[in-house]
Amino acid sequence: MFNNKDFSQACENNKAPILEQLLVQFANQAKILEIGSGTGQHVAYFAPALPHLIWQPTDIPDNHGSINAWVEEAKCTNVLPPVPFFIGVDDWLFDDVSGVFSANTTHIMQPNEAKLMMETVAHHLPLSGIFCQYGPFNIDGKFTSHSNAQFDQSLRQRGYGGIRDIAELQQWAKPLSLLEMIQLPANNHLLVWQK
C-alpha cells in the first residue's frame, strides 16, 4: 500500500533519543520547519508525539513521495505537505515558523551551503525561536570518535562537505546562541540554538 516509502536505518536508530529531546525543546513552539526531511521517517514519528505542533517537511521533490507515504501511514494530522527547499536555491517562505529542525544535513552540505543554512536560519528564526540541529559534529577542531573520523573521510571521498566544527557553526549562526550541546547515541549531538 505504501510502496513509495524509502527507508533509512540511521533514522530508525536515532528517532527515539531525538524525540526525547524535542519533547522538551519544542514544548513551547507552534510550527516547526524541518530542513531536509529525507525519507519522512522522522516527521512521521515526531509529529504524532508532538500534537501541539504543525510540522512543515521540506526536501528535494524526488523525496516528497516517500515523505507523503510515511506521513499517510502514520495517520499524521498535524503535518503539512512537503515543499521544495534547497539552501541557496529556494526562497525562505516560512515566516510563520517558530522552530527549525534538521538532522544529518550539515555534514552532507558543502561548507558554503552549511554556512548559508546557519545564516538563513539565524536571520529568519523569530526571537526566542529554537533551532534543533542533529548529527555528528567536531569539538575544538577534533573528531569525537575514531568512527566519526572514518565517516568524515568517507563523506569527503563521495564529494560531500564533511563534519563541521561546532565553533565554526557558532560563527556562522550569529545572533543565535548555542543553549545546549546534548550528546546522543552513536557519537552524535543535538545542538539547541535560540535567537
Instruction: Return the axis-axis angle of helices 9-25 and 41-49, rounded to nearest 10°.
Output: 30
Q: Which residues make Cβ contacts (< 8 Å) with residue 86, sequence separation at least 6?
A: 60
Q: Is residue 19 situated within a structural domain? A: yes
Q: Is residue 4 situated within a structural domain? A: no
What pLDDT, on a 0 to 100 scale, did the predictor assign at position 154? 97
Cα–Cα distances in angstroms (integers) from residue 96 to residues 34, 47, 60, 88, 179, in the given order: 13, 18, 21, 20, 22
CB atoms within 10 A of CB 23: 12
- Give the cell for residue 168: 565554526
- Record the pTM: 0.97
What pLDDT, on a 0 to 100 scale, did the predictor assign at position 2? 60
Straight-line distance from the first to the last Cα atom of the chain, in angstroms, rounded to the nearest whole number:
42
Q: Which residues of the chain have pLDDT under 70?
A: 1-3
CA gap 42, 35 in Å, rounded:
11
To the nearest whole number, what is the mean pLDDT of the chain? 96
CB–CB of 184/133 below 8 Å? Answer: no
CA–centroid distance for 187 within its chain: 16
What pLDDT, on a 0 to 100 scale, did the predictor assign at position 95? 86
Residue 61: CATH number of its domain = 3.40.50.150
Q: Residue 176 is part of which domain span?
A: 9-194
Number of domains in the chain: 1
Q: Is residue 3 situated within a structural domain? A: no
What pLDDT, on a 0 to 100 scale, did the predictor assign at position 91? 92
Q: Is residue 1 situated within a structural domain? A: no
Q: Is residue 98 situated within a structural domain? A: yes
Q: Is residue 79 situated within a structural domain? A: yes
